[in-house]
Structure 1
């Protein structure tokens, strides 16, 4: 498969997940290709289980264990994730010992931490996050052991969990697939979720970084109740029912403000909701 075809199919998957339903003609116009080409792309994606063909177009597959590809998650709400990542990085103090999760949002946090001169010690199961920070001056990077997960480049399994058990850390930045007022924090993958639980138990503070698409979503594996985390950084609306429930559970909610209009000099990034 050529890189152009792969890129187009990743983008089709992203568009269908966002719109939930989209027609062949609309996709053909978007990518300036024939409907026959789009139909071949859709057939391949349906085989992977990421969407389903219907009359005249496609719909997203609704499954609690159907995890989008890493490339798709990187493309989804990329600008919003960068704003969230900047806010999370603002919350990290000099010389902290930080557990940095795997996943697209955590990787954005790793990039945002670069150049800040914080002198961190970073423990991570993410090879990409480790590579992003390995050359940062005065920063030490500890990569957990474990089995390398294909597609994610994250380390999972008992060795990863055991590595985390040896450290006492200040903050854990967690990426998640779902945050719900009743079901709490959840993710798609069982082994990834066990690593997240292990990391949560070794940090004094747990910050969940999640874009608004994760709010109100429940995925396959439960990780923690809302009361077991300390803060949520998101671009979702402050009155979202999930965020209201989180504040009721004692969680600090930080809603990132869009940056299309210049903000005041103080508190330029966020609206902070009282706990």
Structure 2
């Protein structure tokens, strides 16, 4: 296993548990005590974890992995969700996007899509985003026109936040908004870990005729710090596994269409 893969997994463990010991890491990853200690020291030097006696802990209760360490998480699910979302977008559409790994995969799927080929020099799709990584990657695609909002970048996620986001979007009208979230419940709707990102995502959704949430099953039934929008503001949820019956009934009551992206795993009929 390469070091970057190990660091990803160690950060996942700390994110999920709040703290881990060197022994935990050795058991989970099958590495030596010396390797586990070196990895924790490296993460502590990068100020991604707090080093403790015999292990490490998360920096706080609202601990958030930097974007570059999230890429490997739920990778198959995110790719499947991205393909399904791409299928919901019509050629020529104007698409709002916030940040995050799942939405980044949606942008990549649009860039690869034969349906979104440029016609007579016109772009196959226009992406309006506050995510600098999406803007950077998509800018080399001839079939995509990129519009970037104003704002101040957050290093954790590469997303632009602040009042300039709303000011940039004020005169826009989007066909569809594709939002990544950290949590989605019937009671609170779509949530994320940072209030600035929630505000930016809310503004993107407010100027779109249709709102699609792209979220793998680990986000469903979980609520996080900052609310993006209530459930009844969401038109479609694209996820990778059928919802529990009670949750599905709540989403149906709020007229949220649920699309299950095929991942190759066996899934029960909804």
Report the Cα distance in structure 2 between the residues aligned to 1:8 and 1:53, rounded to whole angstroms: 19
**TM-score normalised by the chain length of structure 1:** 0.81
The answer to whether residue 79 in structure 2 is matched with residue 82 in structure 1 is yes
Structure 2: runs of 5+ lacking an equivalent: 117-123
1:38, distance to aligned residue in structure 2 (A): 1.7
Report the Cα distance in structure 2 between the residues aligned to 1:49 and 1:122, rounded to whole angstroms: 31
Any residues of structure 2 matched to 1:1-275 within 5 Å, and which?
Answer: 8-17=6-15, 24-25=22-23, 27-28=25-26, 33-39=31-37, 41-42=39-40, 48=47, 63=61, 65-116=62-113, 117-118=115-116, 119-239=124-244, 241-259=246-264
Report the Cα distance in structure 2 between the residues aligned to 1:44 and 1:191, rounded to whole angstroms: 29
* Bigger Cα displacement from structure 2, 122-131 vs 171-180: 122-131
Report the Cα distance in structure 1 between the residues aligned to 2:112 and 2:165, rounded to whole angstroms: 28
1:258, distance to aligned residue in structure 2 (A): 2.4
1:240, distance to aligned residue in structure 2 (A): 5.6
Structure 1: runs of 5+ lacking an equivalent: 262-269
Higher RCO (C-alpha 8 Å, min separation 6):
2
CA RMSD of aligned residues (A): 3.1
Report the Cα distance in structure 2 between the residues aligned to 1:240 and 1:43, rounded to whole angstroms: 44
- Structure 1 residues 189, 217: closer, same or farther in 2, change over 3 A? same
1:19, distance to aligned residue in structure 2 (A): 7.3
- Asked whether the equivalents of residues 253 and 272 of structure 1 are also in contact (C-alpha less than 8 Å), the reply is no
Q: What is the number of equivalent residue pairs in this alignment?
A: 260
Report the Cα distance in structure 2 between the residues aligned to 1:141 and 1:10, rounded to whole angstroms: 30
SS at match of 2:7: helix
**TM-score normalised by the chain length of structure 2:** 0.83
Report the Cα distance in structure 2 between the residues aligned to 1:5 and 1:138, rounded to whole angstroms: 36
Report the Cα distance in structure 2 between the residues aligned to 1:127 and 1:49, rounded to whole angstroms: 21
- Structure 1 residues 177, 141: closer, same or farther in 2, change over 3 A? same
Q: Which residue of 2 aligns with 1:267?
A: none
- Structure 1 residues 131, 43: closer, same or farther in 2, change over 3 A? closer
